[in-house]
Structure 1
Amino acid sequence: MDLQLEQLRTFVAVVDDGSFEAAARRLHVTPSAVSQRMKALESTVGRVLIERGKPARPTPSGRVVLRLARQVALLATDALRELGQDSAEPAEFSRIPIVVNSDSLNIWVLPALADAVRQRICVDVYREDQDHSAELLRRGTVMAAITSESRPVQGCSVRPLGRMSYRPMASPEYVRTWLPEGPTPDALARAPMVVFDRRDDLQDCYLRRRSRREWNPPRSYLPSSGDFPEAIRLGLGWGMMPPQQIERCPAGSVVPIDPAAVVEVPLYWQQWRLDSRPLGILADSVASAAAAALDR
């Protein structure tokens, strides 16, 4: 198959920006040109690659080609950067899609991303729970992920980053109201808890360690890492918090409901096996930030 670089870049733009019109704006061409390139690419491959909805999504066949398209586009940018390194013109920015869990994004990853931008690397960040982020690697949606999976996704390498530790916390008033005799199984079964979203398993992990009983306490869902500690401080429920979030709270405003309890989440950096300087720079920046912020 004779796959054209221009067509592959257009495919990536359609997937990332969600429509032919948005891709046209990014590429500075008309929507008609984007449509013609996609039709030509699909004709060459002999498969439908895009589900033309809102947003546009890759088909199963499209995910295979998307992975190739991202690799080719990144390597082409790398080559142009090297060819133009003696030029007076500034090097083109590389664009790398990654997936990061919310707590890492809120607590320690941003300095690494800022360092990458200083080296002319832009990131397209997808937010997903660390237990599910590797799926975006498998689909070809992203090139790298912070994940809790130590087993490499096919075609990827793995690098350990460290561990995030979480403790069950609540406001003092909440403890007096709901857990006056401590975190007994009967009290925990009735006490409201705060959960990030329906993929967040940290609170349930702590409960499973306390007892094998079936737990179904009242839950409030709050998918915002920035507001999660405030919700606990205000008494919406108890929840699992890392030390960095606890330290940001006013002294004494949150207390551990079970001082000895800790849930540790190992984190890994997975990325495509690709000889790309920008991808290597980004990996090193993330690893450096993790070494300064995470438990080893």
Structure 2
Amino acid sequence: MKTIKTLFTLLLIIPFLSCKNDTPSNGKLNVVTTTSMITDLVKNIGGNHINLKGLMGSGVDPHLYKASEGDVTKLVNADIIFYNGLHLEGKLVEVFEKMGSQTKTPIALGEELDKNTLIGSDYFASNYDPHVWFNIDYFMQFAEKVTQVLIEKDPENEDHYTSNHTSYINKLVALQTKLEGIIETLPKEKRVLVTAHDAFNYFGKAYGFEVVGLQGLSTATEAGVQDVQKLSTFIIEKNIKAIFVESSVPKRTIEALKAAVKSKGHDVSIGGTLYSDALGNAGTIEGTYIGMFEYNVNTIVNALK
């Protein structure tokens, strides 16, 4: 069934490829992005010199996302497509690969990273954890690649892209320093993060947290009764104060985990909702990568203290 759906999507796109207008609208590059994190990044680098369209908004799960007819139009008219890769957008990868053979420029930013530094998994198709944006150093590398591609496609505005890149990197460096200060207020023995799925392993590695997700790296997998019971025992043994919901994952799994802990005579609170695979609502602080990251860290630290 999956193969049939993919073929249908490709067949839907192919008739439009020859109709694409090669002249960017208003003389600007037409850029399409997938996740809201990448959209925010490209917006910061490209500014008003590009026409930017993001496919996924707040609360959208990229693991399960399917292209709509409206998305097809955006992709067909794109000069550049920036996406995460590493199988995060599993249902869109074949579409991007097909478009790449039609002289478009799809860029899988995650594939640019040194694979030797990535977190592997025996249980995920790509063998790499795709949630790399939770390592700020990796996100800086994303910014470098985006800037490089924009300059290659639009060399007349090189100074604009370079200046924006420098400014954004400075903000990311300042973010790192601020987050380290916040996390230092949380004793190391309390740095155990339990969430709906394994989206925070890069965060854990960077800041010294033990991270446990009820589901695997992809939300396409379901947590079973045994998973809930095993993790509830872990929470009791570790005396964990709070567990966390994710904005892009149904909260029922975490609520079931809380209930399992209670059934064993203990209590654990839900410490709040974290942004994992998507940013918050547009126009809010959490609707930016920097704001999202700071919000997550404050939520985690305040709940676990």
TM-score for the superposition, normalised by structure 2:
0.27
Larger Rg: 1
More helix by share: 2
TM-score for the superposition, normalised by structure 1:
0.28
